[in-house]
Structures are given as C-alpha cells and as structure tokens.
Amino acid sequence: MSAATLLGSSRGALTRFEIQPILAPTLPDVAGFLFSCAHRDQSPANERPLREDLLSTARYLRWLFVENPLTAPTSQHGLCICDASGVIRGLLLSFPHAFLAGDQRLVGLGSGGYFVEPQARTTGFYLFKRHLSAPDYSFFFSTTCNFNSGALWKTLGGRAVPNSDMEYIVPFKLEVLLPALLAKKTSSVSAANIARVAGRWANRVFRPRTRNSTKLRIEPCRDWEKLAALFRRHRDADVMTTDRSAVFLQWRYGWNAPNQPFDIRMFRDTRGHEGWFALGSVTRGRQGQIRGCVLLDAVWPQETMSFETILPAILQVAASRADALYFRSRPGLTSGECGRRAVPWRLEGPKGFVISRKGAPVAVSALDLVPADGDGAF
C-alpha cells in the first residue's frame, strides 16, 4: 500500500502520519472513526442507540461506495491519515458522480466527509491536495461545505456554485418553526411559549393552502426507466447536470438507499405534460425539533411549465408529513417562481464548490446541483 509520510506536531513532539488510500476492507475502520467524531461527547448510557448509529454509518458507507454503480472493484474511496500505530486520525471520503453537459458525459469526483483531528490538522491540507491529484476525473466538487471546508476549497482554487448559499423555506407549522429559530438566540422558556402562541396565530394568515391546491395529477412512481426517460426528454443541453439514468435512480432512491423513505411522485397536467419530483426527510433545529421535508430533485418540461406551476403539487405532498419544506435554488429558477410563501434563507456560506482539472474548465454558472447530488441528502 503506497503512502506519503508526513510529520505533525502534538504537544510539542513530532508525530509521524501517513496518507493512505481508503479501500473496501478499510470501510469498517472508517465507520468507527466517523462514529467517534460524531459521538465523542455522548454518554455510555445511550449504548444501544449508539451501536445502532454505528451500524447505520457502516451501512451508509457500503451504499455510497461499494454499491455505487460507478464503483469498480479496484476503486479508492478517498484518503485517510494514519498515525504510526495505524489508527485513523483524519480522512476525506470521495466517490464518482456522472454528469451530462450537452452531448458530453463527464465524471466528477465528489467530496464527502472531511474530518481531521487537531493533532493532524497540518497533514489535512496535504490530504486535500492529494485528493485533487486523483486521475481520470474531469473535476472535483462538494455539495456539503461548511465555513471551514469552504475556505479550504477557496484556498486551493475552488469556485463557489452560484446561489448554493441560498435556501428557500415554506413553513407549514409556524408554532414549531418560530420556537426552534428563537432557541438559537435564547434559552428562555417564556420566550419559546410566546413564539409558539404567535406561531399558531400566524398559521391562519401565512400557512400555504395545500389541500386540493394543484391542478396536476400526482401519483407515486418507482418506474426507474420511466423517470429516466422523462429526464432525458426534459434535460436542458445548456446545463450541466447529473446523468439520471435508470441505474443511478434505483441506486439513489431504491430500497437499499439510506434515509428511507423517499417519496417519488410523477405528475401530469391536462395536456399530458409529465415530470417528477423526489422528497426526503430531514430534521432541523438545535434539538431536532423541526420535521422537515427536503426537495431532493425535480424534473419538469420547462418550455411548457414553470416551477411555480409544480410547486403546489410538491407542497400538497410535503404538508402531510412535515413542519416545513426546504428546497435550493437552481439555474434559471427565479425568486418569483419559488412562490409567495417561500422564504429565502441565507446559509452560512456556499455549500457547493468546484475545482476543474487544468486545461478543462467547468462552467460553474451552468452547473445544476440538487440536494440528491453528492451526499447532502444522506
């Protein structure tokens, strides 16, 4: 196994680290490292939920890498930093992702989890640079950057995907959302109660009308060939977007995918124009108080329908299962089409970044990334 040997400092002493590829046999150790990072401060009293979370992490990694339709038997799944004892001290997960740009099919390398322990932080910079030297990929991208990782992408020449720092929220239950948002500012119980009462009152005025609010016919659909055919029919050749093949859709939304259940609906208007959308679940708020519904993807005939036309159908499905709907901006989608009830919400920074391989620039402004791309929805 090839490795790069680097030195880091720990409490004034030099520590030897090695950067090593992550292969399929390494994934159980990777799951253990990610689990320990996420639950370092958890009480041992929660042993059973923690064990289930470890199994869930391991299952997610197997799905993302081993079951990925673009994975080859010899594929690397990222890079890790190991100390002299072979213990993982940092890692950067990566996975292939296919895109279509006009008549061209490109494969980008997506960046997933990026975690480095403090004593190996200097080595983490070289870990990222090694990631960018992976051959056979047209570009490198991420859809889940935070403030710190976004700064690193910028340092190494990354360009932010336009509007990836913007999210739209359609509230269904303001008595849940307002106290959760207020909890970021104060822990006052009385303030939370006031926000809850105000939310119930505001619901009467601001809650979007969802029952029978669409003229579109909606039905569940897991016919991957049909969904892929609709994507090919409605794809804008001037936009660079995920190749939503039947194989990809079955992997992304099928029964083996994590974060079940997904709600995939096909819609049809009175003239026979068809499209589809996919919804997933998410929890928001400091204590996970908000049951959210996220729009993972949507395909529609943009020459004959606007997003504003299909949004009521999405709201009708989401309102029955969530306190709010969340969706991202996309190329060509104007704020007016997002609906009068959608509230624009500025995130802490861009979530999407792209670094092109030298000599093959990617038109970032034409890149259409949805929450189902990368690992953001899972």
Residue 225 lies in a domain: yes
Q: Are 81 and 283 in contact (CB under 8 A)?
A: no
pLDDT at site 44: 54
Distance CA 232, CA 243 (A): 9
Please report whether residue 187 resides in a domain. Answer: no
Residue 356's alpha-carbon distances to 37, 153, 219, 223, 243, in angstroms, are 30, 12, 40, 35, 19
> How high is the pLDDT of residue 375?
75
Number of Cβ within a 10 Å radius of residue 233 = 11
Same-domain check for residues 156 and 238: no
Range of the domain at 103: 4-160
Per the model's pLDDT, the better-predicted residue between 334 and 91 turns out to be 91
Amino acid letter, residue 347: L
CATH of the domain at 302: 3.40.630.30
What average pLDDT does the structure give for the chain?
A: 85
Whether the per-residue pLDDT at 192 is higher than 90: the answer is: no
Confidence of residue 175 (pLDDT cuts 50, 70, 90): confident
Exposure of 100 by Cβ count < 10 A (0-12 exposed, 13-18 middle, 19+ buried)? Answer: buried
What average pLDDT does range 330-356 have in this prediction? 83
Q: Element (H or E) spanning 150, and its range?
A: helix 147-155
Residue 80 falls inside a structural domain: yes
For the chain, the domain total comes to 2
Question: Per the domain annotation, does 362 fall within a domain?
Answer: no
* Token representation of residue 144: 């889940």
Position 1 scores a pLDDT of 34
Percent of the chain with pLDDT over 70: 82
> How many residues does this entry show for the chain?
378
Q: Confidence class of residue 198 from pLDDT cuts 50, 70 and 90?
A: low
Q: Note whether 136 and 232 are same-domain residues.
A: no
Query: Has residue 307 got a pLDDT over 60?
Result: yes
Lowest mean pLDDT among 129-138, 146-155, 285-294, 303-312: 285-294
Please tell me whether residues 231 and 304 are part of one structural domain: yes
Mean pLDDT, residues 23-43 taken together: 83
Whether the pLDDT of residue 55 is over 90: the answer is: no
CA distance 196 to 251: 40
Q: Are residues 40 and 143 in the same domain?
A: yes
Confidence of residue 42 (pLDDT cuts 50, 70, 90): low
Q: Is residue 117 part of a domain?
A: yes
Of 163-167, 226-230, 308-312, 331-335, where does the model show the most confidence? 226-230
Domain identity same for 155 and 10: yes
Check whether 377 has a pLDDT greater than 80.
Answer: no
Query: Are 111 and 245 found together in one domain?
Result: no
- pTM reported for the whole predicted model: 0.86
- Read off the pLDDT of each residue in 168-186 and give the average, rounded to a whole number: 77
Q: State the Cα–Cα distance between residues 211 and 66, nearest whole angstrom.
A: 42
pLDDT of res. 212: 59
Classify residue 340: in a domain, yes or no: yes
Q: Are 9 and 143 contained in the same domain?
A: yes
CA dihedral 41, 81, 78, 160 (to 10 degrees): 70
* Domain presence at residue 365: no
The pLDDT of residue 11 is above 50: no
Within a domain: residue 186? no
